[in-house]
Amino acid sequence: MADIRFDGKVVIVTGAGGGLGRQHALEFARRGAKVVVNDLGGSMDGSGGSSEAAQKVVEEIKAFGGEAIANGSSVTDDAGVALMVKQAMDTWGRIDILVANAGILRDKSFSKMTIEDFELVLNVHLMGTVKPVKAVWEIMKAQNYGRIIVTTSSSGLYGNFGQSNYGAAKLGIIGFMNTIKLEGQKNNVHINAISPVAATRMTENLMPPAMLEKLKPEYVTPGVVYLASEEAPTGAILAAGAGVFALARIYETDGVHLGEKGLSAEEVRDSWAKISDEAGQQAYFQGGEQGGKIFRKLSEG
């Protein structure tokens, strides 16, 4: 098969001034895309900011003959997001791909976490994904083409001590994807998620150097590039780190129909082994399939 190329295509990568986003932006540009490099340029906890980080990556892209422009807006700022999209449209007239990657951390056990830190992280990750998607949505639908990659995390999919705010946001992003993947299908707008593991400033204090060495952010980028390609699936969660790629899915067991007569909490307790039996479990593509299963089991008695 031919190489994946993005000639003539326009990509926005948020939070692309460093870490994973920078690698994504560089690789899209190497493969012919015109790139909007967005980054607020703040510290890891979301304080401060300058457009220098984005500008530096733009210079790197230009140095190898690529095309890129910088945007220093916060992904949570309505006017800034509108400006980012306007810059892309004014310069190149279209937007084909959005990689929603920007993010911050405010880790603390839930006991010690303030509601302010919870809301801030939720806002940057979840609304900082929703707002850029909203801003490109009608453009992509009108083009009958779009590829959106959102960024989730094992902390959201499975949990991680000290990251209740971040985990809530990261799984919220998956809930968002699960619905817009259905709404975008008719217009060939595909939405997928990357669940990365990489050595960046976010993780540099969490793992030993030997492990970090194996977790280069550029080892995640091929997964993002595939999810941005014409052949991309929709609604997939691609876990990626150190060159290992896997699909993350939510499964539902076949379950058991306990009947209406005498239905009780004790019956649920006593049926736990059957309820959780993995034989016949399925991953659904949309919520209605759960209802379909329920009525199938009813008809089976």
Q: Which residues bind ligand NAI (CB under 6 A)?
A: 14-15, 17-21, 38-42, 44, 46, 53, 74-76, 101-104, 124, 128, 151, 153, 196-198, 200-203
Q: Which is nearer to ligand NAI, 50 or 290 (CB)?
A: 50
Residue 199 dihedral angles phi and psi, to the nearest 5° = -80, 105
Q: Which is nearer to ligand NAI, 101 or 165 (CB)?
A: 101
Residue 271 to residue 264: CA distance in whole angstroms: 11
User: Residue 93 is encoded by which pair of tokens?
Assistant: 């007239």
Strand order through the sheet with 67-71? 67-71, 34-38, 10-13, 97-100, 146-151, 189-196, 237-241, 244-248
In the complex, the smallest distance separating the C-beta of residue 50 from ligand NAI, rounded to whole angstroms, is: 10
Place of tokens 């906890």: 45
Q: Does an H or E element contain 13, and which?
A: strand 10-13
In this structure, the chain runs to a length of 301
Within 13 A of 297's CA, how many CA atoms are on the CB side?
16
Q: Cα Rg for the chain, rounded, in angstroms?
A: 21
Is 219 a residue of the active site?
no
In the complex, the smallest distance separating the C-beta of residue 266 from ligand NAI, rounded to whole angstroms, is: 41
For the chain, the straight-line distance linking the first and the last C-alpha, in angstroms and rounded, comes to 49
- Cβ(191)–Cβ(184) under 8 Å? yes
Q: Which is nearer to ligand NAI, 145 or 228 (CB)?
A: 228
Residue 150 to residue 221: CA distance in whole angstroms: 13
Residue 180 to residue 133: CA distance in whole angstroms: 10
- Residue, CB closest to ligand NAI: 19
In the complex, the smallest distance separating the C-beta of residue 194 from ligand NAI, rounded to whole angstroms, is: 8
Q: Which is nearer to ligand NAI, 158 or 285 (CB)?
A: 158
Residue type, 102: A
Q: Which is nearer to ligand NAI, 84 or 145 (CB)?
A: 84
- Spell out the residues 6+ positions from residue 196 whose beta carbon is closer than 8 angstroms to its own: 20, 151, 153, 217, 220, 223, 240, 241
In the complex, the smallest distance separating the C-beta of residue 105 from ligand NAI, rounded to whole angstroms, is: 7
Q: Which is nearer to ligand NAI, 184 or 217 (CB)?
A: 217
Q: Which of 166, 226, 251, 284 is catalytic?
A: 166
Residue 25 to residue 57: CA distance in whole angstroms: 8
Active site residues: 166
